[in-house]
Structure 1
Amino acid sequence: MFQKILIANRGEIALRVLRACKELGIQTVVVHSTADSDAMHVRLADESVCIGPPPSRESYLNIHQIVAACEITGADAVHPGYGFLSENAKFADILAAHNITFIGPSGDHIRVMGDKIEAKRTAKRLGIPVVPGSDGAISEEKEAKRVAAEIGYPVIIKASAGGGGRGMKVAHTEADLEVALQTARSEAGAAFGDDAVYIEKYLQKPRHIEVQVFGDGAGRGVHFGERDCSLQRRHQKVWEEANSPALNAEERSRIGGICAKAIADLGYSGAGTIEFLYENGEFYFIEMNTRLQVEHPVTEAITGIDLVHEQIRVASGGGLSVRQEDIKFNGHAIECRINAEDARTFTPSPGTITHFHTPGGLGIRVDSGVYSGYKIPPYYDSLIGKLIVHGRNRVECMMRLRRALDEFVVDGIKTTLPLFRDLVGNPDIANGDYDIHWLEKYLAKGE
């Protein structure tokens, strides 16, 4: 087991990883920018190192400074959390060159799955169902028209190196295709430095289903069930559930088995999430995230397994602690991402939290690094906390969530709490009857 882990992140995920390390008896080092000197994870860590000014590129994305912090403190492993350098193959390679363990997959696997086109080819080879579309990058309008005619309109054009909805455009007819292609390539080039795009069939009313997987790097793989992440705004997840209200036990077992076998065959090590669009009983691969997900707590709630403990165990050479038959699903869990944003306009709302009170009681978990008097900086992601609620079934979970939202108090800034209080009372949400377009249509009605 590791002696000392450096946590290369900030906010609630840094605190989440820190807690897991403490439970395992591992010393912790956190890095921070000057803007985060009073953050909770900095206060609680065994050691902290300031690695630069507020801009991420000069601090949390500064590989040189993070490696130097490892060497100064004697950290023998790095946990990247999510975001920042968590899916940076170069970072994983550099750590390996310095004999520091990256708590995650190999740089090669990060590269393969970070390229959307190569990821799709790999998924297809591993027996994972994929969305019909182009076999590779599309560069010419003529080729785009041929592929679109073959798979049928509407189609979606996506950036190969993309994420977060950037470089994505929908074409409903051939007349739309030229502009959509040019716009997607332009956005992809500006956002990612790579204007390669590909085309897929655009599904009309799909759900976003993702499967949590783990590999030991030596040919074993397991799945921890699925999460439903269909409630999204601009391709950003807002509300996540486990298990999905849309799947039955047979479908869950089928897609989980496919994903676990694929991870084993790939020789993958650590945590990963295989994401699908799901429509009319069929799953279509869209991407794989080679890291811990923001929404991992709902999986922990229904399985009782600490996924960060599992990450650390696998990275240290201890292998998986569970076999597939050991993983049981208990009840239902929902996570609400609470952001420092206006609940209607989603305008960021940095500032000082004058009062912070979290709900409690059976089945309630709050992952947050903020506190009364904490100043939300304007430089980073607006997530300030996650409310995770677990119940014996979805009905109990929803009732408990409603109560927990009423107890949650964040004063001094605007948050998205009012949005969740609206959603928990909506009949469609109560019935689990929603798709990836539902939330944006709901928000548009209120404008």
Structure 2
Amino acid sequence: MTKFKLTRRQLVQSSAGIAAAGAVGAGLLGRRRAFAQDLKITPEEGATLRVTRWSPFVEGDEKQWLANTEKFTKETGIQVRIDKESWEDIRPKAAVAANVGSGPDIMWVWFDDPHQYPDKLLDVTELADYLGGKYGGWYDGPKSYATRDGKFIGLPLATIGNAVVYRKSLVKAAGFDEFPKDTAGFLKLVQGLKKNGLGAGFTHGHGVGDGNNYAHWLLWSHGGKMVDEKGNVTINSPETIEAIKYASELYKNFVPGTESWLDVNNNRAFLAKQVSCIANGVSVYYAAKKDPALAEIAADIGSTNFPIGPSGQNAELYQVTSAVIFKYTKYPKAAMRYLQYMFEQPQMDPWIEASSAYCCQTLKAYAANKIWTSDPVFAPYAKASETLRTNGYAGPLGPASAGTMADYVLVDMFAEAVTGQRSPEDAAARAEQRAKRYYQS
């Protein structure tokens, strides 16, 4: 493999040039920088690859990824098998593959899962540095999920943005000309929607994306946090209690069953006209636009970021997916060549566009993709990689943060309280105990 080297002087000069030219504009993709020479990776003879990804919610994402993969096979002769798993099954199956030492060569994993088994993953720092140098650099949030001790143990592939998706006509009928921007107004809106006959529905179940996104927003909007900067568990706090009480008031106006919802349930309920307001990726809008029978709903859909709470900060989670290569692979160079190919502009740009604002870029240059300005509904999703807060906030990412999230400690805390299984105080105390099992082990 040809080594890719970048001196500090080159980096400083290039960064300055990028800034002066408008770093991530369209021109960035139309020309090569002097330092971004192609990284040459020579795959092993007779290599074949198996890739496991999560099941798509947007058809264009999968179709374009498969088309790009077919191009890769034609150009390299390397056969690539693509398998799919449900969102909820990705995490446990990746952990099994890592620890057993058998399974796919490449896998798309969630959040800080790579930090649970870093020694089982291939170091792809050279490839990541090459891609970052060529395409404007990595966004900090996605990068932190895929790096450990200064090394890339995966490549941040995409951030799946999350936004409040609502029926504009129903919000107006509830007395609001525009969607409220603060939590107090949000509660009044949800109460009004329920009064008018169609409540809201936010996931309190073990949804990898929607359940985690909603729970973290509830906590952070009120100034709560799982741990402090040193990793000390701080979830049992006055701010958390207030967040739980607020969540309970919202929940009184939800449609039945949200405590058992997974990532697919709110999509289905919204498109079936069973709920007025949800938090979701752009996939629900994509589905409505695609189906002529849902044209009325599609035209009535609005989207916005979650309201600002007492913390005064716009703090949202968003789920990040990274592509990791397991060390047990027989073909590490072929695996790296495949990922390099998929991240290069001729493949990545069409994939982002085909994903219809569902998959937000992790490399800054791709922010220039035309998809982000093609529809006002896409606006809340456009800067997901840039603005996300990592789930380990305010402490470091690592096995403890990954384990706490995988165990749904925060999601369960809110679910137990809003459904009346525990008081707010008891729910926070139990979450504290569960989190300490990870952070103090």
Structure having the higher strand fraction is 1
Larger RCO (CA under 8 A, 6+ residues apart): 2
The alignment's TM-score, normalised by the length of structure 2, stands at 0.27
The alignment's TM-score, normalised by the length of structure 1, stands at 0.27
